[in-house]
Structure 1
Amino acid sequence: MKKLRWAIDGELWELDASTPRTLEGAARAVPGKALPLGLSRGTKLFRPNQIDFMQRFMAAPFLPSYTHHLGVTIQRVLSIPVSENWSALLLGQFNLRKFLSSLTENGGRDGVRKRDLKSIGKLFLDKSLYALGFSSEVLLTPDDTLLLSSDSYYAHNSSSIPRKKAVFHHKFPHHNLTVDAAWPALFVDKETGTYWDVPFSMAIDLASLPLDSGLSYHLCLHHNHGSPKQFQGDPIAQVPASLFPGVSAKCAFSYEKNVDIWRSKAQKLKMVQPYDVFLSNPHVSASGTIGAALSANFGESSVRLVEDAKDIKQLSYHNPTLKSTLLGDIFASMSFTAQHGNFQRLVSDLTRFHVRMDFPSGSKFLSGATLLVQDLLNSHQPSPEAVKMICPTTSLSLQQQVCLLK
């Protein structure tokens, strides 16, 4: 979790999600609608690198992928050695469904049998069957990394436009700085599952390194330019307010406290390496986080955000003349973890239980509690909306090692 963009617990920051809809394999969450941690991925994890790893170490020469619009596609990565501090990858994608439909478009199955090798070979020369992606990672200094990527999609397909992206990472002693720009940028709305293209999007992200306990903070500046359009979907869907042109700045501060209720002091097996170092210490612990977030929005997106949040009582200020909005809120999170076993033996040496409850919006919780109290005082049945507003986002996980085969 420390390697993710989150420096503060809670649904505050928009992580990237893996998706097969583009060659890059990533879509960022719509601002204000953060994805669950289980659906998100790290900022330094890229699909070409994943495919290259699977080709090298998992004997997978080709990787299949499936989307509703393209069907089954096959991907392969070619590694281009440049220098010790500079790597490049070329990702190729072949549209298997379109190739098979081309074989059967004249005469069905009989047409396939009548084709000779020469005619089948000509089908492979069709440019519309292919897509190419290029990515390059440059280690500028031990603390600076630059990633450049460009995708070129199927010819004669107006719905797929070339995508370009640049990401810069810098490591400070106690902070991480990330600057990324994409044109167009792909966003995903977790509530509706729809994808949106923004012509140009840029973000500057500064986060303090996460600590076991103590104060941490996170600053983010985000800019969208151009009218958003739905990507491969119903064009009449409502555009999320935060994707409209404008500039937004968000800052958050939080305090986290971790408490060890019990931690084993028993010695581990000697000369036996744990299968996972992070799961090798039996313990029972609890943690709590509380913090506040403040965001300022300028441009068309600020007007839309006020309209969307008008039913929720929160700290807000809107200036129609300057097209600016100031929003504030509080958040909290609680978790409990219990683990038994050192994960060193082959059988039944790890049992782990983890539960987490997030309250991402204090104002939403307060509004729901107010509605719930009013319903009870008026002898009305509590509304489902009020109950939903006060219920935390809860995640529960149970890990049990049964047997580990070597």
Structure 2
Amino acid sequence: MAKLRTAMDCAFWDVNLSSAATVDGVARAVPGDPFPVGLARAGTTLRAQQLPVFARGFPLGLVPNFCPPLPSSSSCTASGSPSSAAASLKDTHGSFALQTPLFINPPSSNWWVTLMAQLRPKKLFTSIKAEVTGGDELEIPGLMSILKIVCDKTLYAAGLCSQLPLTPNSSLVLSTEAHGGQGKRSKAIYFHKFSHHDVTLEAAWPELFIDRNGTYWEVPASVSLDLASLVSKSGLRYRFGIHKNGGHPQPLNTTCLDVPASLMPGWCAKAAFSYEKNMDIWREKDNPQDAIVRTKERKFLRIPYDIRMNEPHSAVSGLIGGACAAWLGGNINLCCNPTKHLGGENQGSDGFPYSLSRSPFSADLFGSLRYTLQHGKFRESFYDFTRLDARLDICSGAAFAKGARYFLSDMLKKPSERRKVNPLASPKLNIIFQQQVAGPIVFRIDSRISANSPATGKHFPHVEDVMYSLCYSLKLLESGKVVFWYSPKRKEGMVELRLFEF
């Protein structure tokens, strides 16, 4: 569903988005961007835990992914011109990849470790084809040529992930992954659960972020400490966090964009709170007797494909909250087009121009309003599940008020000059539509619609993001799904296992 708590979580640095660009299957959302569509948020089950399950159901244990085209990070860092960066984009991961677990520790252990491998077969076949058709005539490549192609390290990636339970209420997750020709990414996460709070300490070097445009940013070092309250019966929730970015972020799949201010180096302390209220317009409570099917020969129990989607209902819910942030250091913004201000006064030591852009202290309000309508109990094989979730988000109260003032001004008189559009000024409408196809298979589409066009600045509805998926509900898990999703904007897709999540 369109979760309301996304409104507060997106102000911090630990919102995981599903991504095929990494072996562990996640990247972080850029804080301060519009809230992502519901399907974009990654599941709580780690990729290292998903792959052993998938390996039993997919042929040869190979799980398919569609990776985005990303160059090597070294080429992005070293190249100083748009032409060099554009050339580096040709050295891609390959649009199709296969993942498989190579090693899993015995289940009797109280800790687990998984070694994962990834192969890019499209790039392998393309390299062999180029070797065959390299000359004027077709030639059969020799054994050494084939071995050289097969041993190309850019075809492979590997990841190692382990979770160690330190106490009954705390655990430590360590992971590292290496892409051929790209270096390593490492991460450590310490989690402790209190009676009413969760404490998380995370460090990553480097960390991968995705912004609202589908651009990947690599931050050399990222460390955060968060204290989050559990959702209370009163609907009140609060959160505190301290975060540090180290080094200048680099774009991986673009050649000209301003770096998001929240990714620039420096220390940031953040606090946020929210109040949530839910109300059912009508709800048909699940009756256990309805699940009993009687025939002349016998009677049997027909349980729903998902126990969390077995009650037809119509409901309204809302959330309002606020957040404040204080920055220390790194009060600059990195412009990624060095050809615009060559030789300028604000040019940095690494050849990129800088401009002051980040306020040392900020405070803002946010809010969400959601409507849900579900038909069917998701028990029958056909026409027994249709669901619509619509969530209206105001990501920034200050930006919304300023945008409303500009809108009224434009209605009264023609604007004298084109203004820069703030992506947070326009309300965002997130729509999730789910329809049962047959049995446990559900088609789902997630979309985000804005009232302003970012390209022209004009006031008309514009689809900012959309994701498609097929969900296969696993009845034995009560509320588990195998999700096949694809994002046209990011040009990537994944197969995921999600438990008790929508």
Tell whether 2:136 aligns with 1:136.
no
Query: Counterpart in 1 of 2:48?
Result: 48
Which residue does the alignment assign to 2:284? 264
State the distance in 1 between where 2:286 and 2:154 align: 62
- Alignment check: 8 A CA contact 1:7 1:208 kept: no
1:309 is matched with: none
1:248 aligns with 2:268: yes
Q: Is the 8 A contact 2:7 2:366 kept in 1?
A: no
Number of the residue aligned with 1:395: 430
Cα 1:379/1:195, change in 2 over 3 Å: closer
- Provide the rounded CA distance (Å) in 1 between the counterparts of 2:306 and 2:121: 39
Does 2:202 align with 1:176?
Answer: no
Q: 1:10 and 1:285, CA in 2 relative to 1: closer, same or farther beyond 3 A?
A: farther
1:214 matched to which residue of 2?
235
Q: What amino acid does structure 1 have at the position aligned with 2:50?
A: Q
**1: CA distance between counterparts of 2:368 and 2:156?**
46
Amino acid paired to 2:185: R
The counterpart of 1:166, out of the listed 175, 183, 188, is 188
Moved more, 54-63 or 251-260: 54-63
Aligned-partner residue type, residue 432 of structure 2: S
Secondary structure in 2 aligned to 1:31?
coil
Read off the aligned partner of 1:206 and give its amino acid letter: L
SS at 2:49's partner residue? helix
Match of 2:179 in 1: 153
Question: Which has the larger displacement, 380-389 or 243-252?
Answer: 380-389
Equivalent pair of 1:337/1:353 in contact (CA under 8 Å): yes
Q: Give 1:379 deviation, angstroms.
A: 7.4
**Counterparts in 2 of 1:213 and 1:288: CA distance versus 1, 3 Å:** farther
1:93–1:237: structure 2 CA closer, same or farther, 3 Å change rule? same
Change (3 A) 1:397 1:131: closer
Match of 1:364, SS? helix
- Compare 372-381 and 351-360 and name the one that shifted more: 372-381
Flag the 1:259–1:107 CA change in 2: closer, same or farther, 3 A: closer
Deviations along 1:359-403, whole A, 9 cap, x unmatched? 111111111222233344557799897898664211223333353
| CA gap 1:378/1:145 in 2 versus in 1, 3 angstroms | same
Gaps of 5+ in 2: 70-91, 293-300, 335-357, 442-502
Quick check: 1:79 aligned with 2:103? yes
- Going from structure 1 to structure 2, the CA distance change for 1:300 and 1:372 (only over 3 Å counts) comes to same
Equivalents in 2 of 1:379, 1:197: separation in Å? 41
Q: In 1, Cα distance between the equivalents of 2:21 and 2:280? A: 43
Would the alpha carbon gap of residues 145 and 377 (structure 1) be closer, same or farther in structure 2, given more than 3 Å must change? same
- Structure 2 equivalent of residue 197 of structure 1: 218
Partner secondary structure for residue 24 of structure 2: coil
Q: What code does the residue aligned with 1:256 have?
A: E
- In the TM superposition, residue 347 of structure 1 has moved relative to its aligned partner by 2.7
1:224 Cα shift?
A: 0.6
Query: Is it true that 1:332 corresponds to 2:367 in the alignment?
Result: yes
Instruction: Give me the whole-angstrom Cα distance separating, in 2, the residues matched to 1:208 and 1:216.
Output: 6
Q: Is the 2:7–2:35 Cα contact (8 Å) retained in structure 1? A: no
Q: Is the 8 A contact 1:8 1:216 kept in 2?
A: no
CA drift at 1:25: 2.7
Bigger mean CA deviation after superposition, 373-382 or 180-189: 373-382
One-letter identity of the residue aligned with 1:216 = R
Following superposition, the deviation at residue 74 of structure 1 comes to 2.9
Give the conservation status (yes or no) of the 8 Å contact 2:100–2:118. Answer: yes
State whether structure 2 residue 124 is matched by structure 1 residue 99: yes
Aligned equivalents of 1:204, 1:188: Cα separation in 2: 20
Judged with a 3 Å threshold, the aligned counterparts in structure 2 of structure 1 residues 32 and 59 are, in CA distance, closer, same or farther, namely same
Counterpart-to-counterpart distance in 2, 1:27 and 1:109: 38
Counterparts of 1:181 and 1:143 in 2: how far apart (Å)? 20
Q: Is the 1:369–1:386 contact (alpha carbons within 8 Å) kept by the matching residues of 2?
A: no
Please give the TM-score of this superposition, normalised by the length of structure 1: 0.81
Hey, what's the Cα distance between the residues in 2 that align with 1:121 and 1:293?
56
CA-based RMSD = 3.4
Counterpart for residue 280 of structure 1 = 310
Contact 2:33 2:424 in 1 (8 A): no
Identity %: 37
Asked if the contact 2:241/2:271 (under 8 Å) is kept, the reply is: yes
Deviations 1:102-131 (A, max 9, x none): 434445289886346676456434445433
Which SS does the other structure have where 2:382 is aligned? coil
Decide whether the 8 Å contact of 1:247 with 1:298 is kept in 2: yes
Per-residue CA deviations over 1:293-352 (Å, capped at 9, x if unaligned) read: 111111114x559xxxxxxxxxxxxxxxxx971101111111111223222222322232
Aligned pair partner of 1:289 in 319, 342, 363: 319
Query: Aligned pair 1:365/2:400, yes or no?
Result: yes
**2:399, 2:422 within 8 Å by CA — same for their partners in 1?**
no
Post-superposition offset of 1:278: 0.9
Separation (CA, whole Å) in 1 of partners of 2:429 and 2:245: 32
User: How far does residue 269 in structure 1 lie from its aligned partner after superposition?
Assistant: 2.4
Question: Which amino acid letter does the alignment assign opposite residue 219 of structure 1?
Answer: F
Q: Which runs of 5+ in 1 are unaligned?
A: 306-322
Distance 1:230 1:379, change over 3 A: closer
- In the alignment, the residues of structure 1 paired with residue 333 and residue 253 of structure 2 have an alpha-carbon distance, to the nearest angstrom, of 24
Aligned residues: 381
